[in-house]
Structure 1
């Protein structure tokens, strides 16, 4: 499996069309039989879980077989293979800036809307190079305040961590269905943050003990390609 994550930034005067795209772009993705899984996502401010929506930035994620995502020569040709013609044409029409990651899932656990979104994955692998990480969760309504009171401290800790390169908060619902996508110099750097930075390690323990989530997923990827505008 390969996953394609594209971040789309609209000009402020086109925010209405960004919102409209969240409805219109579902149909071509749903009709595309090559797409195994897809999500149209909003983005938060601050680079991680956030209740404050960034109305100019949005994201689209698709998962396809590797064989469907070969033979491309640049970002534009990858966009056509992953999203068809209509969606990239929409982005060009409104002068959007895009950043795209081509990702190979290597290990993980959990589910997204009850599905193994990235196929059957081992919990651990031998890969130790640069990684991207997707952490997503459906937060229980009764645990929402407990979750949000810990977010800022963990976010600040992540941005200061050795090996941290980039992160963005994405989600389907800014209060209950949230995800963070982050990129790290190596898997070891990411593990040092995840398990040894005190605030994050403390939150991991609390999420399990207090059962903050009704569903969660944690997936690590090898970054095959990354194109910025």
Structure 2
């Protein structure tokens, strides 16, 4: 069976829980790194909504995992003490299970996602992760263009279910996660948005990334809630 990927978002509301979550960006590695079946993982903070922002959202953190199989992921979410602590401290948790479809680039020097051989042809949902390490000398130019590139998302994209800016380190190591109803909705944004096309042109011209990765996934399972509801329940008939 092909490996699967999960992304879990945690919402923290009070100051004490936010401080705890921030501390886990350093201290949780000792627990998570020993998890059976976990092939690759990242703990990440997030940017303020809406859109992709350099300003941190101290209330939302993310955990990305690449697992040998779904059973390994389930065992972690059910039994791992560190995950139970995250559950106890957070007010909401939402986990999306995904199968990699297409990957280009590197993350921390490797490609952690292997395209799945077990995709569901009847499931049109698309998830996208874009991740980059920005060159120090290009930071100002990069962030100066971000508000323009995010304008279509801020105004609302047809077929966009959810999006959030996440990352390992503020300003320098950034990523976006987005969920789309189908490939046509994603392509409409990618190819018909002048702002997005200009961002691609600037990327090639200015060369502001030290490392970058683009990955598409097929979401197939959604556990927990976000904003009080299971966001993908109606799409996945859960």
Normalising TM by the smaller chain, what interval? Answer: 0.7 to 0.9
Q: 1:151 maps to which residue?
A: 146
Distance 1:60 1:144 in 2: 25
Per-residue CA deviation, residues 201-229 of structure 1 (Å, 9 max, x unaligned), is 11111101211101100000000112342
Distance 1:17 1:199 in 2: 38
Q: 2:8 maps to which residue?
A: 6
Tell me: CA distance 1:207–1:30, structure 2 relative to 1, closer, same or farther (3 Å).
same
Q: CA deviation at 1:82?
A: 5.0
Distance 2:111 2:90 in 1: 34
Tell me: CA distance 1:129–1:201, structure 2 relative to 1, closer, same or farther (3 Å).
same
Number of matched residues?
Answer: 218
Tell me: CA distance 1:50–1:113, structure 2 relative to 1, closer, same or farther (3 Å).
same
Q: 1:32 maps to which residue?
A: 35
Matched-pair contact (CA < 8 Å) for 1:137–1:215: yes
Tell me: CA distance 1:68–1:62, structure 2 relative to 1, closer, same or farther (3 Å).
same
Q: CA deviation at 1:101?
A: 0.5
Secondary structure (helix, strand or coil) at the match of 2:10 reads strand
Q: 1:62 maps to which residue?
A: 65
Q: 2:18 maps to which residue?
A: 15
Aligned match for 2:204, one of 202, 208, 214: 208
Tell me: CA distance 1:99–1:9, structure 2 relative to 1, closer, same or farther (3 Å).
same
Structure 2, unaligned runs of 5 or more: 226-238
Matched-pair contact (CA < 8 Å) for 1:50–1:174: no
Distance 2:58 2:52 in 1: 15
Tell me: CA distance 1:157–1:67, structure 2 relative to 1, closer, same or farther (3 Å).
closer
Aligned: 1:42 with 2:45 = yes
Aligned: 1:182 with 2:181 = no
Q: CA deviation at 1:85?
A: 1.5
Per-residue CA deviation, residues 141-162 of structure 1 (Å, 9 max, x unaligned), is 1111111111112222124221
Q: CA deviation at 1:34?
A: 1.2
Aligned: 1:85 with 2:83 = no
Cα RMSD over matched residues? 2.2
Distance 1:34 1:121 in 2: 17
Q: 2:163 maps to which residue?
A: 167
Structure 1, unaligned runs of 5 or more: 71-77
Distance 1:48 1:108 in 2: 23
Q: 2:233 maps to which residue?
A: none
Aligned match for 2:217, one of 191, 197, 221: 221
Aligned match for 1:137, one of 128, 132, 135: 132
Secondary structure (helix, strand or coil) at the match of 2:20 reads helix
